[in-house]
Amino acid sequence: MNALIASLGPHGGYIAAAFGATGLILGFLIAMSLLAHRDAARRLAALEARRKP
Amino acid sequence: MEQMSRPSLWLRLANPAAFNTLARWLLGPLVVLTIAAFGYGLYLAFAASPADYQQGETVRIMYIHVPAAWLSLFVYAGMAVSALGTLVFRHPMADVAQKAAAPIGAGFTLICLVTGSIWGKPMWGTWWEWDARLTSVLILFLLYLGIIALWRAIEEPARAARAVAILTLVGVVNLPIIKFSVDWWYTLHQPASVFRMGGPTIHPTMLAPLFVMALGYLALYLVLLIVRMKTELLERRIERLQILAADGERP
């Protein structure tokens, strides 16, 4: 990893930080969206099961 | 005998079931497109595009910063169309789309601000400058946060949708300010170099990764938008069932 950053020149740390931050924010967005969907689907299934006679 | 015409896509999508069917068709190809575009875009950005003659390797930050900036404006413009759909056409899916898009737009704007700040330090010698472009993008981020907060603050969905739609339309004035800020005022930020009169000033070897990464961002936005819209529809169904259950329990 250090060699990869070093190969990007004297500002390799800045490039790695920018790509890392982007990955973190996108990862957070994806995870939050998927978790919220899974949670809503689970709650709806529980409610519908309770409604069935 | 008069034949009944098939309703337009706009009308058909007013039905959540029709939206869910379309979403099922679109989601798989869009996920594949997202992965392929990001994979190929990163390959082009790091292996097939040259360093800049002035900025050196640091120019590679452009491939994540600029598409995020484009998407932050694109998502807001889409939300403004949804706001019109809510206020003027009263389309039942318009506020669902708007509510689902706001956090994604905020995420892209945050990426734009963070990567711009990290790019600015080695190039301009500062993390932040209160110039017109940077400040107007920060205002866009605050608008997104305001819209998300307003959705949460008003309990009744129809009232919340109207209030959010009005706030969104008021905020549209910020879009041309962001776009033309580099022309109207003296700023640290460079002027437009892709979407400008006279064509792009960037070399094709750098334009290719830029557009492929932008395609990746766009495909990811559509995937997340669909997932979040489906979630919002589930939440509304849960709310309806809870109200029905509460009514059934009343003496």
Q: What DSSP letter does each residue of B3-27 carry, written as one string?
A: PPPPPPHHHHTTSHHHHHHHHHHHH
What are the pLDDT tens digits along chain A (53 aa)?
Answer: 777 777 778 888 999 999 999 999 999 999 999 999 999 999 999 988 887 66
| Interface touch B238/A43, C-beta < 8 Å | yes
Domain ranges of chain A: 20-53
Distance CA B160, CA B153 (A): 8
Among B43, B59, B60, B217, the strongest candidate for a mutation testing the A interface, having the largest count of A CBs within 10 A, is B60
Dihedral sign of CA atoms B206, B115, B122, B137 in order: positive
Supply the pLDDT for residue B1: 46
| Interface touch A40/B220, C-beta < 8 Å | no
pTM: 0.91
| Interface touch B119/A12, C-beta < 8 Å | no
Of the partner residues B60, B103, B237, the one whose CB lies closest to the CB of residue A15 = B60
Average pLDDT of chain B, as a whole number: 90
This complex has an ipTM of 0.91
Ranges in chain B, pLDDT < 70: 1-7, 249-251
| Interface touch A15/B231, C-beta < 8 Å | no
List residues in chain A touching B: CB distance below 8 A.
8-12, 14-15, 17-19, 21-22, 25-26, 28-30, 32-34, 36-37, 40-41, 43-44, 47-48, 50-51
Judged on CB neighbours under 10 Å (0-12, 13-18, 19+), B36 is: middle
Q: At what angle are helices A12-51 and B204-249 packed, to 10 degrees?
A: 30
**Residues of A with Cβ-Cβ distance to B231 under 8 angstroms:** 33, 36-37, 40
Task: Give Cα B193 to chain centroid, integer Å.
Answer: 21
